[in-house]
Structure 1
Amino acid sequence: MTKLDDLLADPGWFPEAMDTGRDTLRFARVSRDGLAKTPFLDQRMAPVISDRRDVRLSEALAAWDADKARKVRMPAFLFHSAFCCSTLLAKALDAPGACLALKEPDILMHLANALRVDEALKRDPARAKRLSAFIFGLLGRQFAKGERVLVKPTNSGNNLITPVREAGAPALLLYGDLRSFLISVIKKGEPCKGFMRLQYNIFSLDPGGLGAIPHRQAMGFTDLQVAALVWRHQMEAFAGALERDRDLASLDFTALLDRPEAVLTAVSRHLKLRHGSARIAAAATGPVFRENSKDAGEAYDPERRERDAAALEATHKDTLDLIEPWAAKLTLSRPASLPLPHPLDIAAR
């Protein structure tokens, strides 16, 4: 039987899931290569898992705190507003020995929702902060000395920005404009429209304007109106975080497609990663920018992305032209406009 200390010390035991109500924490046995190559570390990571262990969350947290000699560097974080090349950016930065990119670990969704709905955590901010730092620390364990972990949460976990910064981790906020967001929703079809309604329900639990919209009124919104409200909620949350924390930086995703090498260099510098210029150049000119970031077997480059978007925009122009001005008048809880403040400095150095 694997000892608790071994589970906590070995990054090959990945924190897969937790339940604060049931006091459970699940570890999954996964190699570094399995973590790096899996587009989403949720139920879709099952093929790379070789074993699992369940422990009491409270016991694991106590053991973690008790080991004063434990040396764990907090991971860096890439927050995003969805449909803005976050998976592409994370994959481009993954480089053995320099950076391990973890893409949308399910446990962060569990943590984000626990902070939203667990009444015990909401009543005890110190406990919530301690739990958050523990989960971030587990994700930050290194497979190789000097290798920094980069974590890209799902955008439903954007309420973790403050806990991440309180834990001392560097972070970047990646975003796109509303029209690009809506075109992606249209492109992905009915499943994505349903996903937008799910995100609306999740974000309505956060402080801000979505929760104040009466349910009867919300039921009358069209699919793209719901999507626009989800986007607006995220832009306001990002704007608020950037206003409170000047060490945060924002990045419009189009810059990544236009100037990949300069952007990768700037992101690596801001997130305190360990890429050299040769690694950055190799990533910027390598296959990652010429394939589907979620399906490496499919050719997909910025030019094709632009053509696909232009075709959808032409087909749905009338609808988009109705939604955009409607959304432009929205203010849920605070003003927010693009470009977001504190843009990442991508000037050559």
Structure 2
Amino acid sequence: MADSALLSSDPYWIPHRIDLKRGRVEFLKLPPQAFSGASFLADYTPETAVDSATVSLDELVAMQPETGQLHFIFHTAFCRSTLLARTMNINGVSVGMSEPGIIASLANAGEAGTRFIKPCLMLLARARINADAAVQAVFVKPTNHANRLIPTLMHALPEAKAVLISNSLPDFVKAVNRKGLPGRRWARNLYLEVQSYAPLDLGIDSRENFLLSDLQVAGLAWLLQRRWFEANISGPSGARIRSLDSDRFNESRAESLRAIARFTGLNITRAQTESAASSPIFRTHAKLGGNYAAIRRKGDLQSASGVFDEEMDMVGKWIKQIELQAGLGEVWRKAILPEI
């Protein structure tokens, strides 16, 4: 067992995984450059054993770290959310954390993990220094598989703001298709997952569910996530939530960053937003590294076909009908970040 006082005071020791059966939580010590790296923090492997430590859950709850502001970036996947989280690593302004493992671990723990959510968030929010200046806020992007926790996370930190970033239905389904069979299985799993906590009655039985095509299911997974986002915008924390379109973010990077700064109360200069918006990470694949444009072209060529285009057109019209019947879309549009 480790020194809980050290883990509590050093912001580069972050909670990584919770083990309810053993009554412990694992911490990893991350170097500052890990936060702006291409890999998810959940996948980070310490170089040495001394950079991993555990404490009891009672010690976790008892910690009283010196914390700062924390805000969230929630997403529907394949929508530049990792890019946004990496972009928020701005010297002397903010730190961006892309998918720290602890959020997924807390989601997997179910109701039994609820008690430990706030202590873990307080640790992620600890005050930091970068570029010899105090960091004003930490932006945490959880995995979208933890989106069911959005109301709980927002309730745990009453001062936190959240940006919900998403892309268009065609872009989402194309991204699923580019990943082949693993992508299609992933989308089916996501659909079942979101239906379990934010169900939409489609008026079809289990047999008809089985008959849905992979792309239909992918479209529903996208729609259910957007519907869940709208429910949270309309919920108790709605005043602290804004939506952001992925393409709009990419096309108006500096303006988007300034809008996020205004919304979250960051003190940032125009020069800092312009510098962040022109960062080389926009030319690099956020998850794989390497040239983004080349990797994207290769994926598009490998997955393109007339059959896919025809089915995508049919799926788009089908999802649009469901969206209209369910009255979706208006809440999302009203919550778009201002002046982007």
Tell me if TM exceeds 0.5. yes
- CA positional deviation for 1:171: 0.7
- CA positional deviation for 1:113: 2.7
RMSD: 2.9
Asked whether the equivalents of residues 81 and 234 of structure 1 are also in contact (C-alpha less than 8 Å), the reply is yes
Asked whether the equivalents of residues 174 and 250 of structure 1 are also in contact (C-alpha less than 8 Å), the reply is yes
Asked whether the equivalents of residues 32 and 143 of structure 1 are also in contact (C-alpha less than 8 Å), the reply is no
- Tell me if 1:254 matches 2:247: yes
* SS of 1:102 mapped into structure 2: strand
Give the TM-score normalised by structure 2. 0.86
- Give the residue type in structure 2 aligned to 1:19: D
Same amino acid, percent of matched pairs? 28
Q: What residue number does 1:90 align with?
A: 85
* SS of 1:11 mapped into structure 2: coil
- Tell me if 1:208 matches 2:185: no
Asked whether the equivalents of residues 203 and 210 of structure 1 are also in contact (C-alpha less than 8 Å), the reply is no
Q: What residue number does 1:124 align with?
A: none
- CA positional deviation for 1:334: 5.2
Q: What residue number does 2:37 align with?
A: 37
Asked whether the equivalents of residues 30 and 46 of structure 2 are also in contact (C-alpha less than 8 Å), the reply is no
- CA positional deviation for 1:23: 2.4
Q: What residue number does 1:53 align with?
A: 53
- CA positional deviation for 1:206: 0.8
Structure 1 residues 37, 201: CA separation in 2 closer, same or farther (over 3 Å shift)?
Answer: same
What do the CA deviations read for 1:157-198 (whole angstroms, capped 9, x no partner)? 112221232112111111111111111111122221121122
Q: What residue number does 1:243 align with?
A: 234
- CA positional deviation for 1:91: 1.5
Asked whether the equivalents of residues 25 and 57 of structure 2 are also in contact (C-alpha less than 8 Å), the reply is yes
Give the TM-score normalised by structure 1. 0.84
Q: What residue number does 1:300 align with?
A: 292
Asked whether the equivalents of residues 291 and 299 of structure 1 are also in contact (C-alpha less than 8 Å), the reply is yes
Within 1, Cα distance between the matches of 2:54 and 2:203? 39
Q: What residue number does 2:154 align with?
A: 165
Report the number of matched residues.
Answer: 329
- CA positional deviation for 1:208: 2.2
Asked whether the equivalents of residues 9 and 66 of structure 2 are also in contact (C-alpha less than 8 Å), the reply is no
Asked whether the equivalents of residues 77 and 172 of structure 1 are also in contact (C-alpha less than 8 Å), the reply is yes
| Among candidates 279, 301, 319, match of residue 327 of structure 1 | 319
Within 1, Cα distance between the matches of 2:243 and 2:123? 26
Within 1, Cα distance between the matches of 2:172 and 2:91? 32
Within 2, Cα distance between the matches of 1:16 and 1:334? 38
| Among candidates 124, 129, 135, match of residue 120 of structure 2 | 135
| Among candidates 187, 202, 211, match of residue 178 of structure 2 | 187
Structure 1 residues 220, 254: CA separation in 2 closer, same or farther (over 3 Å shift)?
Answer: same
Within 1, Cα distance between the matches of 2:29 and 2:291? 31
